[in-house]
């Protein structure tokens, strides 16, 4: 994706003070915002098209936490759907 497309696609994230890293499904970085550049002392040009592991010393721990968080979110969503279904059935 060229820089002009990234600038349009992620325009709203440019002003966030929170660091934002957007990756594809293979964890290749598509975009980092200026806060990420400041935090990690790396330019967007250096980061984009590289694997996210350039930011993490212990990638195994990072991916394990990421996977656990994804599973937890999925479980919360499933639980929420069950609760809503029960509430609808009893109404």
CA–CA gap between residue 7 and residue 17 (Å, rounded): 17
By CB atoms closer than 10 A (0-12, 13-18, 19+), residue 36 is buried
3-class secondary-structure state, position 22: strand
Checking DSSP bridges between strand 29-32 and strand 21-23, what pairing results, if any?
antiparallel
pTM exceeding the 0.85 threshold for the entire prediction: no
- What pLDDT score does 40 carry? 87
Segments making up each domain of the chain, as ranges:
1-55, 57-91
Fold designation for 1-55:
Beta-Lactamase (3.30.450)
**pLDDT at res. 6:** 56
Biggest distance spanned by C-alpha atoms of the chain:
56
pLDDT of residue 1: 47
Over residues 62-91, mean pLDDT: 73
């Amino acid at each position: 994706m060229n820089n002009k497309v990234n600038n349009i696609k992620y325009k709203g994230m440019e002003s966030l003070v929170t660091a934002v890293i957007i990756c594809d499904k293979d964890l290749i970085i598509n975009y980092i915002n200026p806060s990420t550049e400041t935090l990690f002392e790396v330019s967007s040009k250096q980061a984009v098209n590289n694997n996210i592991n350039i930011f993490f010393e212990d990638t195994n721990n990072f991916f394990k936490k990421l996977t656990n968080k994804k599973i937890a979110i999925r479980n919360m969503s499933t639980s929420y759907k069950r609760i809503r279904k029960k509430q609808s059935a009893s109404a």
